[in-house]
Structure 1
Amino acid sequence: MSDTERKNSPGAQARDKAARDKATPAASKSARRDGAKKEADSPQGLARKVQELKEFFEEAKVELKKITWPSRKEAQATSIAVLVLTVVMAVFLGLTDMSLSKIVELLLS
């Protein structure tokens, strides 16, 4: 790989950018942050944010219409299945814990 290829590789570009960001004084970073904040506080920035929020809710509404909700019968069936599995696992883990406790107690006494 030649020096030119090495300098233009994505990894080298990322390292160069990281080095530039590190070398950037904190004052200029805060100035950029303040500039972005002022832009958001400006009437145009505020209007743009309101428009983005409106678009977000419109898209969310469209996505919610695509959902196929389970029927009441399906919801009850899956809830019962979860409860039964939970009880079975609780009993299994309780018995396992009790038997292992007895084994440890016998070994230590």
Structure 2
Amino acid sequence: MAKDKSQAAQAAEKPSKAKAPHGKARDESGKDGFSLTGRIDQAKEFFEQSKGELKKVTWPTREETVKTGIAVLVFSVVMAIYLGVVDMALSRLVALILS
């Protein structure tokens, strides 16, 4: 019986937590991420972390960017010519079969 009273007293002392719509417990103060101040704080934290991560990025030099850009253009032209030749050959083959 004494245990029941002490457990009830402990439960009364703990701050009550309600369930947020997404299933996580939240304090009565409303800090569940759905309040405006909670959203603003989350956005600030996100942008601060993003800024820190961007500082860790190794950016390519101008020379590397130009070289890779030229490689992409050359590859695109080669593929366009190849696909054009294959398309023309298949079109003539189909026309020959159907005539």
Q: Structure 2: which amino acid aligns with 1:75?
A: T
Superposed displacement of residue 74, structure 1: 0.2
* SS of equivalent to 1:49: helix
In 2, the alpha carbon distance for the partners of 1:49 and 1:89 equals 48
Please identify which structure carries the higher strand content.
2
| CA distances 1:3-25 after superposition (whole Å, capped 9, x unpaired) | xxxxxxxxxxxxxxxxxxxxxxx
Larger radius of gyration: 2
Matched, 1:64 2:54: yes
| CA distances 1:20-41 after superposition (whole Å, capped 9, x unpaired) | xxxxxxxxxxxx69xxxxx69x
Count of residues in correspondence between the two structures: 70
Superposed displacement of residue 50, structure 1: 1.1
The gaps in structure 2 that reach 5 residues or longer are: 1-20, 23-29
In 1, the alpha carbon distance for the partners of 2:50 and 2:84 equals 44
Q: Percent same amino acid among aligned pairs?
A: 51
Provide runs of 4+ in structure 1 moved above 2 Å: none
From 54, 76, 86, the equivalent of 1:96 is 86
TM-score (norm: length of structure 1): 0.59
Superposed displacement of residue 45, structure 1: 2.0
Q: Superposition pairs for residues 1-109 of structure 1, below 5 Å?
A: 45-109=35-99
Q: Structure 2: which amino acid aligns with 1:49?
A: R
In 1, the alpha carbon distance for the partners of 2:82 and 2:35 equals 59
The gaps in structure 1 that reach 5 residues or longer are: 1-31, 34-38
Q: Structure 1: which amino acid aligns with 2:76?
A: T
* SS of equivalent to 2:57: coil
In 1, the alpha carbon distance for the partners of 2:44 and 2:57 equals 21
Please identify which structure carries the higher helix content.
1
In 1, the alpha carbon distance for the partners of 2:60 and 2:82 equals 31
